[in-house]
């Protein structure tokens, strides 16, 4: 997850070229008018948790390391196991420190022939150093929440899509190189935001399918912590307020309004910025960012070694996963 940015930075982007198997159930929820019948899909927070743990067991997934390569192979094989047509997009990208990174975006296509599509995505790499920690600052972090949590939920969604396909096509994308940006103490320039989200920047300019389009996208970033609060992220509200409303309304209808709150965060640099602005796919970012409480922001474990399995909560995973899957199954 990236630094918070000012609203004016959004304008700069215009120049960028670069384990239940039963049927889904329904439930009636009271609204201002008639009761609304919504899809309450099967989703297992316990299964999502196991997918997160499996990623962490590989070790930090830092580009150009064996742990990164092995986890990437596993992610592709899991998507294949759940019936997806898998495309691995490889690239070489220069990082902020001059290092040439070997990156992989991993795409799983469900119902690939469907013209109407929804895009779900997260980043699978981890921070190469713990720049917000007081100890072991030059060692990589586990990234259980920042990276693995979104991927874990999406792997469980892939499993459910294999059991009961959605009417629309669904593309699950794991972006690489999101967190290989400079330390937070580094001075910023007007182009500093381009040093983050390397995989999604590449994909936005060169999607896995020529002319790829989707109705909308949903980004899951840092979605597994015990006390997670998902406020309406500022970049999402700038580019895709209708998608934010779709997701937050569904969470409220499912009874998760205390988790999905109505405050708006500052604009941030995350994968949804490039997917929305460059690829033209309006996207909502579900991200744990607290406002109107102290400490504000991403939490005390952000970019520290405390971002490990101890902070991951099955109930948080359940609420996020059920919300996203319900949105997907409700699309015609």
pLDDT in tens, 222-242: 999 999 999 999 999 999 999
Give residue for tokens 């400490």: 295
Decide if 138 is inside a domain. Answer: yes
Res 51: pLDDT:
99
Mean pLDDT of all residues in 294-323: 96
Q: Which ranges of 1-149 would DSSP assign to H, the alpha helix?
A: 9-12, 45-57, 66-81
Burial 121-152 (b: 16+ CB within 10 A, else e): bbbbbbbbbbbbbeeeeeebbbbbbbbbbbbb
CA distance 51 to 46: 9
**Residue 12 pLDDT greater than 70, yes or no:** no
Decide if 4 is inside a domain. Answer: no
Res 143: pLDDT:
98
Identify the three-state secondary structure at position 76: helix
Summarised one tens digit per residue, pLDDT across range 312-327 is: 999 999 999 999 999 9
Q: Which residues have C-beta within 8 Å of that of residue 13, sequence separation ≥ 6? A: 193, 273, 274, 277, 278
Angle between helices 314-330 and 150-163 (to 10 degrees): 50
Return the sign of the alpha-carbon dihedral for residues 194, 273, 45, 81.
negative
Contact 308, 56 (CB under 8 A): yes
Res 41: pLDDT:
76
CA distance 250 to 241: 14
Decide if 92 is inside a domain. Answer: yes
CATH of the domain at 178: 3.40.630.10
Give residue for tokens 């699950």: 172
Contact 3, 184 (CB under 8 A): yes
Locate 265 and state its tokens.
Answer: 């965060």
Decide if 2 is inside a domain. Answer: no
Where residue 8 falls among pLDDT bands split at 50, 70, 90?
A: very low
Where residue 25 falls among pLDDT bands split at 50, 70, 90?
A: low
- Selection from 173, 165, 250 nearest residue 209 by Cα: 173
Partners of 171 in beta bridges: 109, 119
Average pLDDT, the chain: 91
Domain count, the chain: 1
Decide if 1 is inside a domain. Answer: no
Summarised one tens digit per residue, pLDDT across range 81-104 is: 999 999 999 999 999 999 999 999
Where residue 293 falls among pLDDT bands split at 50, 70, 90?
A: confident
Decide if 252 is inside a domain. Answer: yes
Beta strands in the chain (DSSP E): 25-29, 36-40, 85-94, 100-110, 117-123, 169-175, 216-221, 230-232, 260-264, 283-287
Decide if 104 is inside a domain. Answer: yes
Cα→Cα distances 26→23, 39, 100, 113, 164, Å: 10, 5, 49, 27, 14
Mean pLDDT of all residues in 54-72: 98
Tell me which residue range forms the domain holding 49.
9-330
Decide if 3 is inside a domain. Answer: no
Partners of 218 in beta bridges: 120, 284
């Amino acid at each position: 997850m990236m630094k918070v940015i000012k609203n004016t930075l959004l304008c700069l982007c215009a120049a960028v070229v670069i384990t239940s198997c039963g049927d889904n159930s329904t439930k009636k929820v009271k609204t201002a008018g008639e009761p609304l019948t919504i899809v309450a899909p099967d989703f297992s927070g316990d299964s999502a948790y196991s997918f997160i743990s499996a990623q962490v067991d590989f070790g930090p997934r830092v580009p150009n390391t064996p742990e990164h390569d092995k986890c990437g192979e596993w992610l592709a094989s899991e998507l294949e196991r759940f019936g997806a047509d898998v495309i691995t997009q490889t690239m070489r990208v220069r990082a902020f420190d001059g290092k040439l990174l070997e990156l992989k975006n991993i795409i799983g296509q469900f119902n690939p022939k469907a013209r109407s599509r929804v895009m779900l995505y997260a980043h699978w790499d981890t921070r190469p150093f713990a720049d917000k920690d007081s100890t072991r600052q030059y060692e990589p972090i586990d990234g259980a929440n920042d990276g693995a949590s979104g991927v874990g939920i999406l792997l469980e969604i892939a499993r459910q899509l294999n059991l009961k396909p959605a009417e629309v096509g669904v593309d699950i994308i794991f972006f690489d190189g999101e967190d290989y940006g400079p330390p937070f103490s580094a001075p910023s320039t007007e182009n500093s935001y381009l040093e983050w989200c390397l995989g999604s920047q590449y994909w936005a300019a060169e999607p896995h399918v020529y002319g790829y389009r989707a109705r909308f996208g949903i980004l899951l970033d840092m979605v597994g912590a015990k006390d997670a609060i998902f406020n309406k992220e500022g970049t999402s509200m700038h580019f895709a307020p209708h998608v934010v409303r779709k997701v937050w309304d569904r969470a409220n209808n499912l009874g998760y309004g205390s988790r999905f709150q109505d405050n708006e965060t500052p604009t941030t640099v995350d994968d949804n910025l490039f997917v929305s602005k460059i690829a033209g796919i309006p996207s909502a970012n579900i991200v744990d960012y607290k406002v109107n409480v102290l400490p504000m922001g991403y939490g005390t474990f952000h970019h520290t070694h405390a971002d490990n399995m101890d902070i991951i909560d099955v109930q948080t995973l359940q609420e996020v996963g059920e919300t996203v899957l319900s949105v997907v199954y409700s699309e015609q």
